[in-house]
Structures are given as structure tokens and as C-alpha cells.
Amino acid sequence: MRLRLVPETTNIDFFGRARLTFGASCVAMVLSVVVWAMFGLNFGIDFQGGTTIRTQSVQSVDIGDYRAAIAPLDLGDVSITEVFDPTFGDDQNVAMIRIQAQDDQEAVTAETIAAVEAALQEVDPSITFPSVESVGPKVSGELIQTAFIAVGASLLAILFYIWLRFEWQFSVGAVVALFHDVIVTIGIFSALQIRFDLATIAAILTIIGYSINDTVVIFDRLRENLIKYRKRDLREVMNISVNETLSRTLMTSGTTLIALIALLILGGDVIRGFVFAITWGVVVGTYSSVFVAKNVVLFIGLNREDKPTDKGNQFAGIDA
């Protein structure tokens, strides 16, 4: 027996309230922008500036003990990660400690660094500090700019690819859905003041890739069904296409969420922001693939007199 999350044949009317679902998505985007403008983002060290201290010890790294030793210094955002490398010996236990720039200061002062080192030496007398590196406000500003350029460039590349693979209406729908995913994700990070750093940007780019994959699967089935059901209404063909791919969508999203929720609960503080972003993105991306991307195509409409053909447009044969 095969496991099925949904019946083999479903007939759910996904687009019966297309204006309501699309309107809700637009409201969510507007609210996200408003929250972002009001509260801003809780930038991490990568974007705010700060100092990274590399430690090395013969004893194993205990992140909990390190964090407890530094906590009384009240340094704000402190990130502690253990560094794993197969070339390290048994007596080489390395960690990276990142401390955000303090108020009214461009970098962490030498006194603060000395206080951190003294606190860690109380926990582990054998600890040494091979390197100390600082990230100033100028570099942080450049990282912010580069990160948003990376997200924007990925959206433009996807817009171009979907236009080549399908029709221009499909590419507009796909990019609007991805834009929705990015804005709503940034909005939830702003509302909850979750740390926003380079790992979050990586998560957003992962969300974009995951969401567009789901969108393309449904678009591909829609293109096939537009050929198969030439006389049926576009809304009806869309419903057929989403219902036919529903089992695949739920199975893919469901299994991904199982792994992500486990990481979210058990993965620790270091990766929590990254995992939360992807978890949220899987849910929002699955929703937007149907209720944003397809609604945009539905509202724009398609010329079904001569398109799509059995090969789509002239670029439809391009491999993904």
C-alpha cells in the first residue's frame, strides 16, 4: 500500500475566491512593509559591525559555558560557534565568538575584548586567542547593499528564465509570488525582531529556490492541461492542475518541514534564525505558488488561440 496524504483524485476549488486570497496576500505584503518601516530589522554582527574573536583550547568547546561567562558583560548580540575541521588535532578545539559593535562606537574596544578574554580564561585556563578581527560600519553597509542586490538579481534571473520556459504571464506571476515570499519573510523578522544576518540572506535565497521549484511544477502541469482542455475555462484548468499536483506538493513540503522543525527545536541558538526563515519560507512559498503566482496569471489572462502549443513557446525545450 502506498501512503497518500490526499485522495488520489481531488476536486478542490482553489480559485473560487481568487480575489479574496490574492487580496489577503497583498494586505500581508503591505503590513510587512509597514512593520519593516516602523521597527526596522535586528541586524546581526555581519550587518551592524563588530568583532570576531577566534579561540583555541586543548579542552573541548562548551558553548553553554562560554556564553554563561560572557553574559554578565552585557555585550548584546554575541554569537558563539564551534569550528570543525578534519585537519585539527585532538588538542585543537576552535571556536568563533562574534560580538556586535556597542552603542556610539564603531568597533568593540580593546578593553571589552580584554574583558571577554579574561572571562573565558576563567572557564578554561588553557584557552588562547590566535586572532581578533573587527568589521566596521562601512564594511557592514556594503554587505547589506550586496545582500539585497543578490536577492534582486536572483528575482530578475528567475523572471527571465520563466519567460523563456513558459509565457511572459507565467514569469510575472512567479516573480510576484517570490517577491511576496521575500517581503513577508522580512516582515516577520522585523515584527519578531529575530536576528537578521548573512545566514538569513542565505535562507531567503533558499526560499526563493524552493518556492520557484514548486511554482514551476504546477506551471508545467498547467501548460499540459491548457493543451488537453482547450475548450475549458482558464480557472477550471488551473483548478485541475493544482489538484493533480496537490499530493506531490504536500508530500514535498511536509517531509521538508519535518526535518526543519526538528532543527528548529533541537538545532540550538546558532542556526535558529536560519532554520526559522526556511521553515517560514516553505509554508509561505507553498501558499504563494498557488494563491499568488496562479492568481496573477488568472487575472492577466492567456491568449489561448495559438498558445501554448504542444511545445510551449520557442524556448520551452530548455532544460531546467
Statement to judge: residues 104 and 187 lie in one domain: no
CB 50 within 8 A of CB 99: yes
Q: 148 and 130 in one domain?
A: no
Say yes or no: 161 and 254 in one domain: yes
To the question of pTM greater than 0.85 for the whole model, the response is no
Beta bridge mates, 131: 54
| DSSP secondary structure letters along 148-175 | HHHHHHHHHHHHHHHHHHS-HHHHHHHH
Looking at the fold, whether 113 and 23 belong to one and the same domain comes out as no
Mean pLDDT by 10 residues, the chain (320 residues): 63 80 90 92 74 85 86 80 75 82 65 86 86 67 76 80 78 86 90 83 83 84 83 84 84 87 78 86 88 85 58 44
β pairing state of 78-83 and 50-57: unpaired
Residues 89 and 74 in one domain: yes
pLDDT at 137: 57
Q: Residue 130: which domain range?
A: 50-135
